Structure 1
Amino acid sequence: MFACELEKGLHLGLLRTADAKALYRTVERNRAVLEAWLPWVHQIENAADMKNYVRFECKRYKGGKAMSAVIFDGREAAGLISYQELDFRNRKATLGYWLDSARQGKGIMTDAAAQMIRFAFATLDLNRVEIRARADNRRSCAVAERLGFKQEGVLRQEEYSGGVYRDHIVYGLLEADWKRQETGGDDPNRITV
């Protein structure tokens, strides 16, 4: 089972149905902030909706289509990070994430993403990890940039939310890039994964 320790006493654990209540509490506490960035949040109206969502994601994991991990602070769910799409045929994954607003700006998501990237390349034998972030979500873009992802393009008007079309930036990191970072072959000031 996937699990790992993060900095600041946090840890990642593979998403389980038992995590639904803790995740729901975190979504409720952060609803206004999360709804601005994540179109699915308005569909989670109660704890039962979250449980159904978690069951769906667990089923996708069992089918090899996705993998989600909860970021835990003790027993409290601080956020979620996922390979939203796992494509073993083409050896790639798309990484997505969200974090409790009180914990943002502390390097937690960068640390969690680094662990997921390491797992993708070293354990799952993937060749590519992609992050798609809304162009106006500077915090999400900054995570990708700190971890050495290269901006590969912009998907114009990719998302319709709040009555407005939003662009998404596509970032990519290849296994070869990651290996160079791991051995110090890139910029020494860059955070390595």
Structure 2
Amino acid sequence: MFLHRIDESISLKVLQPQDAPELFQLTDASRAHLKEWLPWLDATSTEKDTEGFILSALKGFAENKSLTTGILYQGKLAGTAGFNSINWANKTAYIGYWLGTGFQGKGIMTKTASALTEYAFSDLHLNKVEIRAAEDNAKSRAVPERLGYTQEGKLRQAEWLYDHYVDHIVYGMLAEEWRKK
């Protein structure tokens, strides 16, 4: 099992099926907040849906195609983060993340994204990490900006959110840039 301690308060762990009730409860309690930016909320209406997500994430991890972790903050599940996909041919990973409503504003996601970036370069020996966020999602965009990622461009109408498209801003960090920090 993957477990990575970031600091005294924050750890990342690969989610297991037994985490489904807690993750579903966090998702459900944060539904109104998350639905503004994440397209999968309507498809997550039961613990069974969350368990299916976890099983899919475990399959991606076993196949070395992705890494989805639960973010533990002071021992409580606070959200998820990881590599939505890993492109081994191009040595690139794509970070995705979300936090439950009560866990925002504590620096959790910036530390988490920093740790994932470091892991991508130091342990996986990748060359590039990307983070994409909806153009108007200021909180999500602040994470790569705080970490010194380069804004590389905009993908127009990149994602369908329930009743409208949103543009995504693409941020990238190269291994050589990260090492210079």
User: CA shift at 1:101, angstroms?
Assistant: 1.4
| Structure 2 unaligned blocks of 5 or more | none
What secondary structure is seen at the aligned counterpart in 2 of 1:171?
A: strand
Q: Please name the residue that 1:4 is paired with.
A: 4
Q: Deviations over 1:74-93 (max 9, x none)?
A: 44310000100111121110
- Which stretch has the larger CA shift, 89-98 or 158-167? 158-167
Q: Please name the residue that 2:171 is paired with.
A: 171
User: CA shift at 1:163, angstroms?
Assistant: 2.1
Q: Does the CA-based 8 Å contact 1:109-1:143 persist in structure 2?
A: yes
Amino acid at match of 1:39: P
Q: Does the CA-based 8 Å contact 1:127-1:174 persist in structure 2?
A: yes
Q: Does the CA-based 8 Å contact 1:17-1:58 persist in structure 2?
A: no
1:18 correspondence with 2:22 = no
Q: Please name the residue that 2:120 is paired with.
A: 120
User: CA shift at 1:104, angstroms?
Assistant: 0.8
What secondary structure is seen at the aligned counterpart in 1 of 2:98?
A: strand
Q: Please name the residue that 1:138 is paired with.
A: 138
CA distance in 1, matches of 2:2, 2:150: 27
**Count of aligned pairs between the two proteins:** 181
User: CA shift at 1:108, angstroms?
Assistant: 0.5
CA distance in 2, matches of 1:17, 1:120: 25
What secondary structure is seen at the aligned counterpart in 2 of 1:13?
A: strand
Q: Please name the residue that 1:148 is paired with.
A: 148
User: CA shift at 1:10, angstroms?
Assistant: 2.5
Q: Does the CA-based 8 Å contact 1:158-1:168 persist in structure 2?
A: yes
Q: Please name the residue that 2:37 is paired with.
A: 37
Query: 1:66-105, aligned counterparts within 5 Å?
Result: 66-105=66-105
Shift of the 102–71 alpha-carbon distance from structure 1 to 2, 3 Å rule, reads same
TM-score by length of 1: 0.89
Aligned alpha-carbon RMSD (Å): 1.3
Q: Deviations over 1:128-162 (max 9, x none)?
A: 00001000100110001011110000001112224
CA distance in 2, matches of 1:7, 1:106: 13
CA distance in 2, matches of 1:41, 1:155: 22
CA distance in 2, matches of 1:125, 1:6: 19
Amino acid at match of 1:9: S
What secondary structure is seen at the aligned counterpart in 1 of 2:36?
A: helix
CA distance in 1, matches of 2:6, 2:99: 14
Q: Does the CA-based 8 Å contact 2:39-2:162 persist in structure 1?
A: no
TM-score by length of 2: 0.95
What secondary structure is seen at the aligned counterpart in 2 of 1:118?
A: helix
Paired-residue identity, %: 38
Q: Please name the residue that 1:65 is paired with.
A: 65
